[in-house]
Amino acid sequence: MKDNLNHIRNFCIIAHIDHGKSTLADRLIELTGTVSKREMQDQILDSMELEREKGITIKLAPTRLIYDYNGEEYTLNLIDTPGHVDFTYEVSRSLAACEGAILLVDASQGVEAQTLANTYLALDNNLETVPVINKIDLPSARVEEVKKEIEEVIGLDAENCPCISAKEGTNVEDVLKAIIEKIPAPKGDINGRLKCLIFDSHYDNFKGAICLIRVFDGQVKKGDKILMMQTNKVFEVTEVGIFVPNTKETEVLSAGDVGYLAGSIKTIQDVKVGDTITSWENPTDEALAGYKEVQPVVFCGIFPVDGARYGELKDALDKLKLNDASLQFSAENSMALGYGFRCGFLGLLHLEIITERLEREFNLDIITTAPSVSYHVYKTSGDMLEISNPSLLPPQVEIERIEEPMVKVNIFSPPEYVGAIMDLCQDKRGIYKNMIYLDKRRVELNYDLPLGEIIYDFFDSLKSRTHGYASFDYEQKGYEPAELVRVDILLNGERCDALSMIVHKDKAYTRGRELAERLKKIIPRQLFEVPIQACIGNKIIARETISALRKDVLAKCYGGDITRKRKLLEKQKEGKKRMRKIGSVEIPSEAFMSILKLNDDE
Amino acid sequence: MMMNKELSIYIHIPFCERKCIYCAFVSFCADKNSQDKYVDFLVKEIKSFKTNSRVKTIYIGGGTPSVLSEENLIKIFEALSSSFNINSNAEITIEANPNSLSENKLVLYKKLGINRLSIGIQSLNDDTLKKIGRHHSREDGINSIKLANSYFDNISIDLILGLEGEKNIYKYAETLIDLGVKHISAYMLEVHENTPLNNQVESHKFIPLNEDEVTSEYEKLVKFLDKKGFNQYEISNFALKGYESKHNINYWTFDDYVGFGISAHSFLNGIRIANASTLEDYYNGVKLKDENTDKTEIEERLFLGLRCFSGVDLKILQALGFDLRENDYYKKFLHDGILKEKEGKVYFNKNYYLVSDYIISHLLPD
């Protein structure tokens, strides 16, 4: 039975963030009895603490469901996907392992920016896409209208689509039926030469690197010798298995199956997500298409608070990179922060998640510098430099022009916020492209915007100006010249490289002044007066002064309780360790992220 | 055991008529029965302590020791003299509040050998006193000094710097010095968690002086007291010559002391011991012991020595394996005149007392 490809369905769920993807996955797991009620915890596939906390899915999490349909047993492999724009890349990775996708749409929110973006990805991968309308239990649900939106905006037939409440379990069975009826069974030759796609990987301290695989042709079992076609490494399989949703060892994985494979792979770099695994003795002629390498678009410096932990930081980044191919990093040295790494990310959320994982999973104290994009700097000498660290920008006189990365932005919003959105895009140096009224309640706005402006509080501003009703998505759109300058910060006359930023010349004064004001609040008083200056080249554009410290003493040392006083001083000294020195000025670690949060106080 | 070693004794009396809003010490109201029970236990604790050292100072603090009944105080002194060899010139202090001092008590104190009074004046402003939960008025304060002065020569008073609206504290000092006060402890207000003051500060019902205002209050007071011949022998302590508190100095110069009573601290042969700070634990004999390591001794010698006139002996630190002269901050502080070295000892420039925690935290060993 299990060998029959006709009884396997490989699918994923795609949706805009918060449309209920993880809840539906939970219901499907529950309904098929994959996990007993007792073991059930909410959002079971979001295994990372961070995922549950933020209510988002970051990593792909596959699971095998067994379902009886018309008296026959079907194996449904569900691959959960992230919903945030930063992780479009991960979505496309899981899509390549599936034949179909459930497109989940919130019955009150309707079609949103990511609904559309993810549908396009599914279509690009030739997936059968099955719309499902969720949250029909909400009083604000407007099922018929949303069906119309799906048909008109996306172009999918939604007439008889399942309408469910994943939260309450209503009609969830319809989804399982639709998966079997509408999504095609995998094709593949079980007797053919082995061909598997690595769609994800992670590191296990006991088993080494674990590959998450989809078998397209052939079979793989313990003891087989396998070849990684891209890295050209050979391993002996020590274990294969499936996810239920925890790992469970099986004898064999065959064409059509989704599961995992371990092979005492000690070197993280030997496993490349997107690579094809084949048999070493009898290899396939042709590798699978794999994935195109994603390029990071947001960069920042990451440094250990305690310089001695540089090695630990490097190990941690290596480990994270194993199942996050999009994370890039290279060694960097800062005058202010010492040795660390310049890291590249897919977006701000990605950056935030990596830094939080470094702190939580690896127990590292880190300092991150403000995020930047990568600029193309054309020098008068004819050279072109890619600069993602503002402090490395050459002097103005050597620069012929600077080009910045642009993105095409799609914004979905109720019509009443169009004015506010246009103001925001204008303020962010956006170029208006188009506006389409999708129906009475939804407008789609298209803008071209500099990515550098998007990573500087665009998302938060959009949310607050539209009371959370607008959604947005963007894609890369090449480089364009812009009048950019570097704003430096001098503390007591010394430049602090980690606080430099590249900004448009029209915004340099405001941003320089805001940053100086912010630093004044964050940097504690010192024994002497500390001037903070923002400047472009040699020109001072803003100045603040931190007055000298006048009082730092606990006067009472009473009744012989010396220990308490000693511990207080020790604590104060530990606080000093978290400080960085620029010349003779001590700066707390938080100051370096402060460029990001310039608008927080408003 | 060394025969010529000397010792100080601290006795904690946790009772108060009511608790002041800023107070974070172990103190509470208690009826006669609970007071009797406490004193009985205290007496047992005193009697069970064995030592050959002679006692050079005794300090009875609180709380408000002056609320103790005469018979309880007598019991404590009987226990002390039966267990200890007290020097004839020992400094013996008791803390008192202006409203709980009476002629009878003063006579008794004198009879028991007490020779120093520390009176909690805190302020000479009636509104302030009321606001912070004190039980006495400006007049009570002044009268208590007058009364005390007819029995005692060595009188110390406490003042608080930084209370709402309290500018020109030095004028209180002036009034009190004219009445015969010989020693002044001036503590800057600390707002501790879990005190009513903390709530009032957070809800802006009480607005303490800001950093600049407190600093200037302190500086004015220091200047005034200097003019009056009061020597600043520690950050918060000022005295006419010969009236420095020997008991306090003992804490700062790393000499032995033993504390009796709830939450009392001892330092004996390099070990710091803290009695429990709840009555239940205290009655069960719970104590926290903290053996000094070289590192903690270095740290303690540094901050204790720097905070008072005695300074820190660089050679003692070296013997403990710590060379202050190798610390870059130390060199800088010397260069900037914040610290000074004299005959192998290092002292604070008194102008920098108010930032002493900042400075000291840069000097502690890693």
Cβ <8 Å between B12 and A559 = yes
Contact B96, B63 (CB under 8 A): no
- Cβ separation of B357 and A554 shorter than 8 Å? yes
Of B12, B304, B356, the CB nearest to A553: B356
CB contacts of B355 in chain A (<8 Å) are 527, 549-553
Is there a contact between B188 and A566 if contact means CB atoms under 8 Å apart? no
- List CB contacts (< 8 A) between A576 and chain B: 361-362
Q: B61 forms bridges with which residues in the sheet?
A: B12
Interface of A with B (CB under 8 A): 527, 549-563, 565-566, 568-570, 572-573, 575-576, 584
CATH 3.20.20.70 location in chain B: 6-252
Position of tokens 């007049």?
B139
* A562/B307 CB distance under 8 A: no
Architecture in CATH for domain B6-252: Alpha-Beta Barrel (3.20)
Mutate to test the interface with B, among A525, A563, A578 (most CBs of B within 10 A): A563
Checking if the pLDDT of A56 tops 60, the result is: no
A41 pLDDT more than 60: no
Cross-chain Cβ contact A559/B265 below 8 Å: yes
Residue contact B190–A562, C-beta within 8 A:
no
Nearest to B303 among A552, A565, A575 (CB): A565
Closest in A563, A569, A573 to B272, CB measured: A563
Nearest Cβ partner of B211 from A527, A551, A569? A551
The vertex-B138 CA angle with B133 and B141, nearest 5°, equals 90
Distances (CA, A) of B12 to A269, A560, B15, B119, B278: 66, 11, 9, 16, 13
Question: Of A552, A555, A570, which has the smallest distance from its Cβ to B364's Cβ?
Answer: A570
Q: Is A289 exposed, middle or buried (0-12, 13-18, 19+ CB in 10 A)?
A: exposed
Question: Which positions in chain B touch A575 (Cβ < 8 Å)?
Answer: 361
- A569 to B303: CB separation less than 8 angstroms, yes or no: yes
Q: Which one of A554, A560, A570 has the shortest CB-CB distance to B190?
A: A554
Instruction: Give me the sign of the Cα torsion angle B341, B345, B346, B351.
Output: negative
Q: Do A489 and A522 touch, CB atoms closer than 8 A?
A: no
Q: Which amino acid is at B300?
A: E
Residues of A in contact with B361 (CB under 8 A): 569, 572-573, 575-576
Query: Which of B109, B106, B143, B137 minimizes the C-alpha distance to B124?
Result: B137
Domains of chain A, first to last: 5-182 (3.40.50.300), 195-279 (2.40.30.10), 298-368 (3.30.70.870), 384-482 (3.30.70.240), 485-593 (3.30.70.2570)
Centroid of chain to Cα A450: 20
Closest Cα in chain A, distance from residue B142 (Å) = 25
pLDDT tens digits for range A544-558: 999 999 998 876 666
Indicate the pLDDT class of residue A31, thresholds 50, 70 and 90. confident
- pLDDT tens digits along B296-346: 999 999 999 998 888 999 999 999 999 999 999 999 999 999 999 999 999
* Cα A492 to Cα A545: distance, rounded to the nearest angstrom: 9
The average pLDDT across A65-91 equals: 79
Amino acid A601: pLDDT: 42
The reply to whether residue A527 touches residue B358, judged by beta carbons under 8 angstroms, is yes
d(CA A108, CA A140): 5
- Measured between alpha carbons, how far is A161 from A150 in angstroms, rounded to an integer? 10
What separation in angstroms does the CA of B266 have from each of A525, B53, B203?
A: 36, 14, 38
* Smallest Cα distance from A591 to chain B, Å: 20
Q: Which residues of A508-531 are buried (b: 16+ CB within 10 A; e: fewer)?
A: beebbbbbbebbeebbebbbeebe
Stated pTM of the model: 0.72
> pLDDT tens per residue, chain B (366 residues)?
445 689 999 999 999 988 999 998 889 999 999 999 999 999 999 999 999 899 999 999 989 999 999 999 999 999 999 999 999 999 999 999 999 899 999 999 999 999 999 999 999 999 999 999 998 999 999 999 999 999 999 999 999 999 999 999 999 999 999 999 999 999 999 999 989 999 999 999 999 999 999 999 999 999 999 999 999 999 999 999 999 999 999 998 889 999 999 999 999 988 999 999 999 999 999 998 888 889 999 999 999 999 888 899 999 999 999 999 999 999 999 999 999 999 999 999 999 999 999 999 999 998
Using a CB-CB cut-off of 8 Å, the residues of chain A touching B188 are: 551, 553, 555
pLDDT value at position A323? 66
ipTM of the complex: 0.89
The DSSP secondary structure of A482-524, one letter per residue, reads: E-EEEEEEEETTEE-GGG-EEEEGGGHHHHHHHHHHHHHHHSP
- Residue A88: per-residue pLDDT: 64
Q: Which residue in A550, A554, A562 is closest to B304 by CB distance?
A: A562
In this predicted structure, the answer to whether residue A1 has a pLDDT above a threshold of 50 is no
Kindly write down the DSSP assignment for every residue of B103-147, as one continuous string. Answer: HHHHHHHHHHT--EEEEEEE-S-HHHHHHTT-S--HHHHHHHHHH
Asked if A569 and B361 come within 8 Å (Cβ–Cβ), the reply is yes
A585: distance to nearest CA of chain B, Å? 12
For A564, residues 6+ apart whose C-beta sits below 8 A from its C-beta are: none
Closest CA to B264 of B73, B82, B62, B65: B62
The 3-state DSSP class for residue B311 equals coil
pLDDT in tens, B222-236: 999 999 999 999 999
Q: Which residues of chain B make contact with A572, given a CB cutoff of 8 A?
A: 357-358, 361
Q: How far apart are the CA of A557 and the nearest CA of chain B, in angstroms?
A: 9
More confident residue, A174 or A576: A174
Asked if B190's CB is within 8 angstroms of A555's CB, the reply is yes
Cα→Cα distances A302→A187, A221, A367, A523, A592, Å: 45, 41, 6, 20, 10
pLDDT of residue A311: 95
Contact (Cβ atoms closer than 8 angstroms) between residue A443 and residue A435: yes
Query: What is the pLDDT of chain A when averaged over all its residues?
Result: 87
Buried b (16+ CB within 10 A) or exposed e, B24-47: ebbbeebeeeebeebbebbbebbe
**So what's the pLDDT on residue A602?**
39
Q: What is the mean pLDDT of residues A98-114?
A: 91
pLDDT in tens, A326-348: 789 999 999 889 999 999 998 88
- List the one residue out of B94, B77, B87 whose CA is nearest residue B43: B77
Encoded tokens for B69: 């009944």
Burial B69-78 (b: 16+ CB within 10 A, else e): eeebbebbbe
How many angstroms away from the CA of A586 is the closest CA of chain B?
12
Determine whether the interchain pair B354/A559 forms a contact, defined as Cβ–Cβ distance below 8 Å.
no
DSSP structure class, residue A542: E
Q: Are A304 and A313 in contact (CB under 8 A)?
A: yes
**Do residues B123 and B158 make contact, with C-beta atoms less than 8 angstroms apart?**
no
Task: Kindly list the residues from chain B whose CB atom is less than 8 angstroms away from the CB atom of residue A559.
Answer: 10, 12, 25, 61, 259, 263-265
Instruction: Please state, in angstroms and rounded to a whole number, the distance separating the CA atoms of residues A576 and A546.
Output: 18
B264 vs A559: CB contact, 8 Å cut-off? Answer: yes
Name which of B303, B335, B351 to mutate to probe chain A: the one with the most chain A Cβ atoms within 10 A of its Cβ: B303
How many Å lie between the alpha carbon of A562 and the closest alpha carbon of chain B? 7
Q: pLDDT at position A2, please? A: 45
| Cα A282 to Cα A194: distance, rounded to the nearest angstrom | 8
